[in-house]
Amino acid sequence: MRVLVVGSGGREHALVWKLKQSPRIKQLFAAPGNAGIAELAECADLGASEVRRLADFAAKRGIDLTVVGPELPLTLGIVDEFESRGLRIFGANQRAAILEGSKVFTKRLMKKYKIPTGFFQTFYRVEDAKRYIQDVGAPIVVKADGLASGKGAIVCQTVKEALDAIKIIMEDRVFGDAGEKVVVEEFLCGEEASFLAFTDGETVLPMASSQDHKAVFDDDKGPNTGGMGAYSPAPVVTDEVHRKIMEQVMIPTVKAMAAEGRPYRGVLYAGLMIKGGEPKALEFNARFGDPEAQPLLVRMESDLLPVLEAVVDRRLHEVDIRWRPEPAVCVVMASGGYPGAHEKGKVISGLRAAARLKDVVVFHAGTALSGGKVVTSGGRVLGVTALGKDVPDAIARAYRAVEKIRWEGAHYRTDIGRKGLGRAA
């Protein structure tokens, strides 16, 4: 088989790394890929949002299956374009990808189908949003409606912070057109978890649990990012909580999308808040999480390819997934200044030394080749991922690898996985 992975981040490197292990895949391609992916796959100079050119490439090169990593091409209709040409592709189509593409749509869907979530209001006008915030007070969460690379949700502890968030999103348009509408919603207390599942529109096959670390600094301080690290499993997702998530969130959401005439196939990712053993949905994503994909795919014992094919062919009920019992931790190394302005082109050293460590995989995200050297080319640069016999061991292995890698201005959190220590002990 010939397989194409669309995207250039750490999630896509993890997908390529995992698919490379499948005995049935003879040739792997990535578009556009990065410096790490280039060691495993043939990279094509095509942007992830160049939908028609990607379909042309897949047809010309005889690609048997395309796997879409990022959310933007899904919301642009890459699945629809490929399927209209008779090309096999894994991912949510445009009508289903609205689940991530519009927070307004998603919150209304959850309310309509009684999927547990916080209260919310939608606003199209700045004045109305500000008036509501002054009425309800803080803490409160302000979200841009559209795609914002995981950074469009602003947790506000004071009314002033919330009013500033409205200005940033709706007036300053920091997130562009994503800020045409905002959702102002309840601030939910508890512990966050990421819950990902494969679905073919009927069967829902859960992955192992995981937990992301969104804030840029230790102790969940600072602005939100695309994710500064993740670990799997998340001990907060007990067997009982897992059952509730499936019965109250995942299965009802897939059924709701079908009832709305938007059958959902691909990866369904729920961002959850769990308090007192009760899950509430914060939002949904229409693809693998990044960085959650890195520890999940390292822990996945089964071949990924048959699962993807079963989703595409709508026979997911025929497959199952085996998971390694060992936990995995992913520490994201970012450029200085991220998620704000940051410099590119910094030479990275120590990659080989880190990769030689036992049970460590260094996934590239924002990297490129320049003059034969690997350099930084984005905000999140690497996802250093390690397996361990327990959570403390996985954390220690990941940070030992991180310490071997250097570039000017490198930044990372030092507390990834810490929330799992007490529960996992």
Asked if residues 286 and 96 have their Cβ atoms less than 8 Å apart, the reply is: yes
Q: Whole-model pTM?
A: 0.94
* Residue 425, pLDDT score: 40
Q: Supply angle C-alpha 299, 17, 335, rounded to 5.
A: 90
Whole-number percent of the chain with pLDDT over 90: 96
Q: Which amino acid does the sequence have at 91?
A: G
CA dist 229 → 40, 70, 150 (Å): 23, 17, 13
Neighbours of 121 (CB within 10 A): 15
Q: How far apart are CA 416 and CA 413, in angstroms?
A: 6
Q: How far apart are CA 300 and CA 328, in angstroms?
A: 10
Asked if residues 115 and 272 have their Cβ atoms less than 8 Å apart, the reply is: no
Q: How far apart are CA 176 and CA 197, in angstroms?
A: 30
Residue of 141, 395, 99, 109 whose CA lies nearest to 270: 99
Q: Which amino acid does the sequence have at 188?
A: L
Long-range contacts formed by 51-54: CB under 8 A, 24+ apart: 51/76, 51/77, 51/78, 51/81, 52/81, 54/4, 54/6, 54/78, 54/82
Residue 40 burial class via C-beta count within 10 angstroms: exposed 0-12, middle 13-18, buried 19 and up: middle
Asked if residues 14 and 8 have their Cβ atoms less than 8 Å apart, the reply is: no
Say whether pLDDT at 230 is over 70.
yes
Q: What is the pLDDT of residues 86-132, one digit of tens each?
A: 999 999 999 999 999 999 999 999 999 999 999 999 999 999 999 99
Q: How far apart are CA 190 and CA 305, in angstroms?
A: 35
Computed over every residue of the chain, the mean pLDDT equals 96
Q: What is the pLDDT of residues 352-372, one digit of tens each?
A: 999 999 999 999 999 999 999
Say whether pLDDT at 150 is over 80.
no
Provide the terminal-to-terminal Cα distance of the chain, rounded to the nearest Å: 43
DSSP of 181-208: SEEEEE---SEEEEEEEEESSS-EEE--
Q: How far apart are CA 2 and CA 58, in angstroms?
A: 9
Say whether pLDDT at 8 is over 60.
yes
Q: Report helix, strand or coil for 70.
A: coil
Say whether pLDDT at 214 is over 70.
yes
* Residue 201, pLDDT score: 98
The DSSP symbol for 40 reads T
Q: Report helix, strand or coil for 153.
A: strand
E-strand spans in 47-129? 65-68, 89-90, 120-123
Q: Report helix, strand or coil for 210.
A: strand
Say whether pLDDT at 149 is over 90.
no
**Structural domains of the chain sorted by starting position, each given as residue range(s) with its CATH number in brackets:** 2-94 (3.40.50.20), 125-180 (3.30.1490.20), 191-318 (3.30.470.20), 328-424 (3.90.600.10)
The DSSP symbol for 85 reads T
Query: How many distinct helices (H) and strands (E) make up the chain?
Result: 15, 22
Q: Which residues sit opposite 67 in a β-bridge?
A: 5, 90
Say whether pLDDT at 410 is over 60.
yes
Q: Report helix, strand or coil for 310.
A: helix
Q: What is the pLDDT of residues 21-32, one digit of tens each?
A: 999 999 999 999
Q: Cα 50 to chain center, whole Å?
A: 20
Residue with tokens 């997702």: 237
Q: What is the pLDDT of residues 297-350, one digit of tens each?
A: 999 999 999 999 999 999 999 999 999 999 999 999 999 999 999 999 999 999
Residue of 213, 207, 155 whose CA lies nearest to 184: 155
Residue of 83, 58, 84 whose CA lies nearest to 5: 58
When pLDDT is cut at 50, 70 and 90, the band that residue 420 belongs to is confident
Q: What is the pLDDT of residues 37-80, one digit of tens each?
A: 999 999 999 999 999 999 999 999 999 999 999 999 999 999 99
* Residue 419, pLDDT score: 85
Say whether pLDDT at 422 is over 70.
no
Q: Report helix, strand or coil for 156.
A: strand
* Residue 148, pLDDT score: 85
Residue with tokens 């998620």: 339
* Residue 224, pLDDT score: 87
Say whether pLDDT at 423 is over 90.
no
* Residue 37, pLDDT score: 98
* Residue 16, pLDDT score: 98
* Residue 151, pLDDT score: 79
Torsion of CA 63, 94, 213, 424, to 10 degrees: -80
